[in-house]
């Protein structure tokens, strides 16, 4: 199956000159979802995973499915103030300013084998901050995997210590 045929290009979104890669056509097609899920699992191989961490919000599409298939827990990483229990926080730099991510303080146990998943790897800031949160809690990142990667933004460059895999490259 050609997954790229399920990704729609939206020119000038969110700003002029940007081409947004819209995965909602893929999400409308159950066969494409199943194919993408299986392909993401194949990127991982036969490795034991304890937790799958997904980043807000589009990482929430596939991360719970991957967790179910791997018999692992799902851990959401969210913007500040969105999680109801005690959290840990990781600040990170943006092109113009800073942002932060939070995770529940009991989400990762020391020694947990962790798969980090998001829909898109762009500049790598969110993925790097997520990895830092996991490592603060004593988790071991087995892989960072993505549905698609905007390789011209060199997000991998922020993740040199991790096994980074993507299904689709743009």
Give the ranges where 5-159 is alpha helix by DSSP (H).
24-27, 30-44, 59-69, 125-136
CB 157 within 8 A of CB 129: no
**Does the pLDDT at position 95 exceed 80?**
no
pLDDT at 129: 97
**pLDDT tens digits along 35-84:** 999 999 999 999 999 999 999 999 999 999 999 999 999 999 999 999 99
Residue ranges per domain, the chain? 47-169
**What average pLDDT does range 102-129 have in this prediction?**
97
**pLDDT tens digits along 7-34:** 999 999 999 999 999 999 999 999 999 9
Catalytic residue among 21, 42, 56, 58: 58
Q: What is the pTM of this model?
A: 0.95
Distance CA 130, CA 124 (A): 10
At residue 93 the predicted structure's pLDDT band, cuts being 50, 70 and 90, is confident
Topology of the domain covering 47-169: Rossmann fold (3.40.50)
Report helix angle 59-69 to 30-44, nearest 10: 60
Could you confirm whether 95 is annotated as catalytic? yes
**Does the pLDDT at position 96 exceed 90?**
no
Handedness of CA 68, 33, 20, 164 (dihedral sign): positive
pLDDT at 117: 98
Could you confirm whether 69 is annotated as catalytic? no
75 exposed, middle or buried (CB, 10 Å; 0-12, 13-18, 19+)? Answer: buried
CA 166 and chain centroid, separation: 10
pLDDT at 94: 78
Distance CA 157, CA 170 (A): 16
Catalytic residue among 42, 89, 95, 135: 95
Q: What percent of the chain has pLDDT over 70?
A: 99
């Amino acid at each position: 199956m050609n997954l790229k045929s399920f990704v729609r290009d939206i020119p000038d979104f969110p700003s002029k000159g940007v081409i947004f890669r819209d995965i909602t056509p893929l999400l409308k097609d159950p066969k494409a979802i199943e194919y993408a899920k299986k392909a993401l699992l194949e990127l991982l191989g036969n490795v034991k995973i304890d937790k799958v961490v997904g980043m807000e919000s589009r990482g929430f599409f596939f991360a719970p499915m991957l967790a179910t298939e791997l018999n692992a827990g799902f851990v959401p990483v969210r913007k500040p103030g969105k999680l109801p229990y005690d959290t840990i926080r990781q600040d990170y730099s943006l092109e113009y300013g800073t942002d932060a991510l939070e995770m529940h303080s009991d989400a990762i146990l020391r020694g947990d084998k962790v798969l980090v998943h998001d829909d898109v790897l762009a500049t790598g800031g969110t993925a790097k901050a997520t990895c830092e949160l996991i490592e603060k809690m004593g988790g071991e990142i087995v892989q960072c995997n993505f549905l698609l990667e905007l390789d011209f933004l060199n997000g991998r460059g922020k993740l040199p210590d991790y096994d980074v895999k993507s299904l689709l490259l743009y």
